[in-house]
């Protein structure tokens, strides 16, 4: 609840400052999903049999969630067993954090995947 409360307060303050004529730059921080996503994105780059393009777009939401869940479990196993993979994940996370506020043309490929993988909140996936 505390993260949601901070988001609401931040949005409230942004609206007040904008209404007062201030130039406000609003950033939605990667937050709790950031490192988990970096783990998945680093693993995704190594998958030879991952669904691509049309194959991904034709998959049902359930199939996508199941595939991503299996991939995430595999990626976490790699995190525990490979220091190189763990280092790559943390490097990717730092890159994503830095580029999250950059213009879309400068964003890294993994951050662009974030938009593809997380088009909805977990709540929307569960209740779809």
pLDDT digits (tens, 9 = 90+) for 98-123: 666 555 555 556 556 655 555 544 44
Q: Is residue 15 part of a domain?
A: no
Whole-number pLDDT of residue 80: 93
Whole-number pLDDT of residue 58: 92
Whole-number pLDDT of residue 73: 92
Q: Domain total for the chain? A: 1
Q: Is residue 11 part of a domain?
A: no
Whole-number pLDDT of residue 68: 86
* Interacting residues of 80 by C-beta distance below 8 A, sequence separation 6+: none
Q: Is residue 121 part of a domain?
A: yes
Residue 82 — left, alpha, or beta (φ > 0 → left; ψ -120 to 50 → alpha)? beta
Q: Is residue 14 part of a domain?
A: no
Q: Is residue 9 part of a domain?
A: no
Q: Which residues span the domain enclosing 111?
A: 31-126
Of 15, 10, 9, 77, which Cα lies nearest the Cα of 46? 77
Whole-number pLDDT of residue 78: 94
Q: Is residue 1 part of a domain?
A: no
Residues in the chain, pLDDT under 50? 1, 120-128
Whole-model pTM?
Answer: 0.55
Q: Using an 8 Å Cβ cutoff, are 71 and 47 in contact?
A: yes
């Amino acid at each position: 609840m505390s993260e949601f409360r901070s988001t609401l307060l931040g949005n409230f303050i942004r609206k007040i400052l904008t209404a007062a004529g201030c130039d406000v730059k609003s950033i939605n921080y990667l937050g709790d999903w950031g490192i988990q996503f970096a783990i998945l994105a680093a693993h995704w780059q190594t998958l030879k049999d991952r669904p691509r393009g049309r194959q991904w777009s034709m998959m049902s939401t359930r199939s996508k969630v199941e595939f991503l869940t299996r991939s995430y479990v595999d990626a976490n196993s790699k995190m525990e067993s490979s220091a190189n993979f763990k280092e790559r994940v943390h490097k990717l996370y730092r890159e994503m954090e830095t580029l999250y506020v950059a213009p879309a043309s400068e964003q890294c490929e993994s951050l662009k995947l974030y938009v593809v993988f997380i088009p909805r909140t977990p709540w929307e996936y569960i209740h779809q």
